[in-house]
Structure 1
Amino acid sequence: MKVGLLNSPAAPLSPYWAAYLKELGVPTQTPALSDAEALALGAQSLPAESPAVQLVLGRILALERVDAALLTEWPAVAGDAWSEALSELLPRRISGLPTLIAVPERGGDLDALEAQAAGVGVRLSQNPGGVRLALERVRPLAQPARADLPALSRASRTTVAVIGPRPLLQEPVLASGLRPALEALDLHPVFSYEVPYADALRRAERLEDAHKVPAGERELFGAASLLAGKGAVAGLVLVAPARDGATQDALSRVAGRLHKPALHLTLDAGQEEWPELDTFAARLTQGATGRRPASTQESGE
């Protein structure tokens, strides 16, 4: 059985799954097209969906003669069927796809990850003994790398927190135009995916009934709340994928719980200009005039 690996930069466990299948002796393949070509292919097949959905579909379609593909689960937001059941919905919309096997996006709970990985391994290799040995060998790759909050200040620039889903902001083919657009306005962007995941989740515990809030929305709120609490951060840029109303609604709920200036943007693949950024940047720059520089350790609380 040959298995497709999509290897998204927004999927922290991609190296884990690649190493695991190699240990099991399962042949693997990655997409035969560049991300730009895969995106165009996905957009042709699902033109009305968000660019993040189009990209993952294109990567699957760019796999050549595989029997199955590992598909990383997305952090869900309320009301978004794609993030809640990506591996189930895609075959319903597009016929002829390989079998899609949903796998966890993170390894925070090692026991849960290895239990699911064991099931995947037995299914693909039919070798329970080899699965146990493979799990032991790749276990170090399941541990999240140590991460610190990035620098929140940059000389002569106003800091903004850029909040949005990782499957959008962390994909260069989708979001590469956003950082240059912000920096061209003398803004220093700090992206939500740069916030250590564990720190964002701890911050999200402040939400009322946090356990009832979908994981993706908790992550967005936690990162936004943590950054908004820093004195160096002047405002928030909340970015949702084009044609994704559920994420736009989730980001509106995030903004409603915070108390710093916020701008809502939608981002389509390859987009490089947002006219509304000019006015927002001017507003933040004027508000920051004369303000004491803040260290990266300020909590603002």
Structure 2
Amino acid sequence: MKVGLLDSRAARLHGYWAAYLKELGVEVVTPSLPDAEALGLGQKTLPGEALPVQLALGRILALDSVDAVLLPQWAPVQNDAWSEALGELLSRRISGLPALIPVPDSAEGLEGAAAEVGLRVSQNAGRVRLALERARIQLPGARAEMPPLSVASRVTVGVIGPRTLLAEELLSGDLRRAIAALGLHGVYSPELPLAEVLKRAERMEQADTAPAGERELFGAASLLSGKGAVRGLIFAAPARNGAALAALERLAARQHKPTLLLTVDAGAQPGAWPDLEAFRDRITLGERSQEQDA
């Protein structure tokens, strides 16, 4: 059996699933096109959808003759059908796709789901048990370090957004370069230790019932806003994703530090975010005043 595995930079457990499938003796197929071409294919096929959806579809279409594809589950926000049921919706919209199998992208429920996938693709219970044991070494460690919060001669900003946007260089690279070009040091929410993010998310109202994606966004914003080095927060939503934009608007309204809300599209040109420079000036004004007083 040939199983497709997307080269998603946003997937936390890509290494685990690659190792697991290898131990199962399954032939693993990855997209045959570079990400930029895959995105273009997805944009042509679903022009009205959000960037992460287009990129995921493009990567699926760039797989050659597979029987099934493993799709890491996205952390959903309120009213975002794509993040709740990506595979199901893609199969409805696009005919002829291989079987799309949603798989966990965190430790919760991982081995049970992996066992089901293993039996489905290999039909060998003994091999599945052995593969589960050998693949555990690929799981991320429980302890993860915070990224650097300060860089010399730069003012620090937190950048909060869906992992499917900010962890993908192809999608967020223009924004990252624009932030750096203004002399800012960006600390991005996907780079934060997940355990600390989720611990902060416990402070969220109705945390037990809130969608996983909103808990992650809240936890990241809470963690970064509590750091003295972080002078302001930028909230970034994928273009054409009204649910993510609404979730970030709600979150930005709760902050006490300066905030900026942006939408990010592919191929952004210089000056795509005219409010970014004004935001830089706003958060650096206090820094300059302190230097003058000194």
Q: Same fold (TM over 0.5)?
A: yes
* In structure 1, C-alpha distance between the alignment counterparts of 2:244 and 2:286, rounded to whole Å: 29
CA drift at 1:178 = 1.2
* In structure 2, C-alpha distance between the alignment counterparts of 1:233 and 1:246, rounded to whole Å: 26
Corresponding residue of 1:84: 84
CA drift at 1:17 = 0.7
Question: What are the residue-to-residue correspondences of 1:209-220 with 2, within 5 Å?
Answer: 209-220=206-217
Call closer, same or farther: CA 1:73–1:291 in 2, change over 3 Å: farther
Give the letter for the 1:282 counterpart: D
Corresponding residue of 1:56: 56
Question: What are the residue-to-residue correspondences of 1:58-73 with 2, within 5 Å?
Answer: 58-73=58-73
Give the letter for the 2:93 counterpart: R
For the 8 Å contact 2:78–2:247, the answer to whether it is kept is yes
TM-score in terms of structure 1 length: 0.93
* In structure 1, C-alpha distance between the alignment counterparts of 2:289 and 2:135, rounded to whole Å: 52
| 3-state SS in 2 of match to 1:97 | coil
Q: Which runs of 5+ in 1 are unaligned?
A: 293-301
Corresponding residue of 2:148: 151
Corresponding residue of 1:171: 168
CA drift at 1:287 = 2.6
Corresponding residue of 1:286: 285
Corresponding residue of 1:277: 276
> In the alignment, which of 112, 137, 141 is matched to residue 138 of structure 2?
141
CA drift at 1:145 = 5.9
For the 8 Å contact 1:175–1:270, the answer to whether it is kept is no
Corresponding residue of 2:198: 201
* In structure 2, C-alpha distance between the alignment counterparts of 1:147 and 1:211, rounded to whole Å: 24
1:268 matches 2:265: yes
Call closer, same or farther: CA 1:216–1:12 in 2, change over 3 Å: same
Give the letter for the 1:18 counterpart: A
* In structure 2, C-alpha distance between the alignment counterparts of 1:252 and 1:275, rounded to whole Å: 18
Question: What are the residue-to-residue correspondences of 1:37-56 with 2, within 5 Å?
Answer: 37-56=37-56
CA drift at 1:240 = 0.1
CA drift at 1:7 = 2.4
* In structure 2, C-alpha distance between the alignment counterparts of 1:52 and 1:287, rounded to whole Å: 36
Give the letter for the 1:161 counterpart: G
CA drift at 1:291 = 4.2
Residues 104-152 of structure 1 show CA distances to partners (whole Å, capped at 9, x for unaligned) of 0112x3xx21111000000000101110011011112124363211121
* In structure 2, C-alpha distance between the alignment counterparts of 1:281 and 1:257, rounded to whole Å: 20
Give the letter for the 1:228 counterpart: S
CA RMSD for the aligned pairs? 1.2
* In structure 2, C-alpha distance between the alignment counterparts of 1:95 and 1:287, rounded to whole Å: 56
CA drift at 1:208 = 1.3
* In structure 2, C-alpha distance between the alignment counterparts of 1:248 and 1:261, rounded to whole Å: 18
* In structure 1, C-alpha distance between the alignment counterparts of 2:290 and 2:120, rounded to whole Å: 59
* In structure 1, C-alpha distance between the alignment counterparts of 2:290 and 2:55, rounded to whole Å: 42
Corresponding residue of 1:183: 180
Q: Which runs of 5+ in 2 are unaligned?
A: none
Corresponding residue of 2:15: 15
> In the alignment, which of 109, 112, 124 is matched to residue 127 of structure 1?
124
* In structure 2, C-alpha distance between the alignment counterparts of 1:202 and 1:101, rounded to whole Å: 29
> In the alignment, which of 89, 97, 111 is matched to residue 114 of structure 1?
111
- Point out 4+ residue stretches in structure 1 off by more than 4 angstroms: none
* In structure 2, C-alpha distance between the alignment counterparts of 1:288 and 1:184, rounded to whole Å: 18
For the 8 Å contact 1:118–1:131, the answer to whether it is kept is yes
| 3-state SS in 1 of match to 2:232 | strand
| 3-state SS in 2 of match to 1:173 | helix
| 3-state SS in 2 of match to 1:95 | coil
CA drift at 1:239 = 0.1
Corresponding residue of 2:225: 228
Between stretches 149-158 and 44-53, larger displacement belongs to 149-158
Residues 10-65 of structure 1 show CA distances to partners (whole Å, capped at 9, x for unaligned) of 10111111111111111110001000000000000000001110000000000011
CA drift at 1:161 = 0.4
